[in-house]
Structure 1
């Protein structure tokens, strides 16, 4: 018979592997703009978790338009839970607006949003160049 300690250690190892692998898939996503791919570190909130659930089913494409000279904004195609608060955005911030639109900032602004995440190690000049001056297609994915 198996010793109870050995069975316990095997089970603990399996649980640890599952927890570590699960954590990796939910704390960041990819955002593709034209041919550039950026890593986005997600916030720990219900909106970000629901976004990940949607991305587990399929990538999300957002047709985003220029707004205000500081962001690109577009319809998400579905709603996410909101926890809006007045925040000062910075280049690389990805936020939820009105529950069903995302905004990607290349400059700063202050308004009431639900923060979804931020592009890792963002260079604001490079991001502004990639986003360009007109409409842009943004693809959100897990990989």
Structure 2
């Protein structure tokens, strides 16, 4: 094989591999959640649920009216369904999970159950989060940065 053919093949293979790596499946982790007047950054997982969640956020903010549940989380209906990949996980304060495909839970305490992990609030103090969430219903407003 001549030098020019080898060089051309290397260039073509390089372009193909770059295209495959930079496909449209990358996750945009620039999401925030507003709770009352407090805004928190959310670090998303990279899974099919979060990819679909990002598509919904590109249409506009997603508001979840969440209620107290179990003394460790706030849970509310999304208004649409996301794909699930449930695993039995232990949650910690700040975790955001998908439950039954159409509900989001934000944890201020810990719990173990079968969920699809959506993400986690970055650098949040569990006491501050519990204070912000309060004891009653709360509105969670998710948006792209």
Which of 124, 127, 130 is residue 128 of structure 1 equivalent to?
A: 130
Q: Report how many residues are paired.
A: 126
- Which consecutive residues of structure 1, in runs of 5 or more, have no partner in the other structure? 1-7
The residue number in structure 2 matching 1:30 is: 32
TM-score, normalised to structure 1, is: 0.83
CA shift for structure 1 position 28: 3.2
- Which consecutive residues of structure 2, in runs of 5 or more, have no partner in the other structure? 1-10
Whose radius of gyration is greater, 1 or 2?
A: 2
Which of 72, 75, 78 is residue 73 of structure 1 equivalent to?
A: 75
The residue number in structure 2 matching 1:3 is: none
- Separation (CA, whole Å) in 2 of partners of 1:86 and 1:75: 21
Give CA-to-partner distance per residue, 1:25-44, whole Å, 9 cap, x none: 71231000000000010001
CA shift for structure 1 position 87: 0.2
CA shift for structure 1 position 101: 0.2
Give every structure 1 segment of 4 or more consecutive aligned residues whose post-TM-superposition deviation is greater than 4 Å: none
Q: What do you get for the CA RMSD once the two structures are aligned?
A: 1.9
CA shift for structure 1 position 126: 0.2
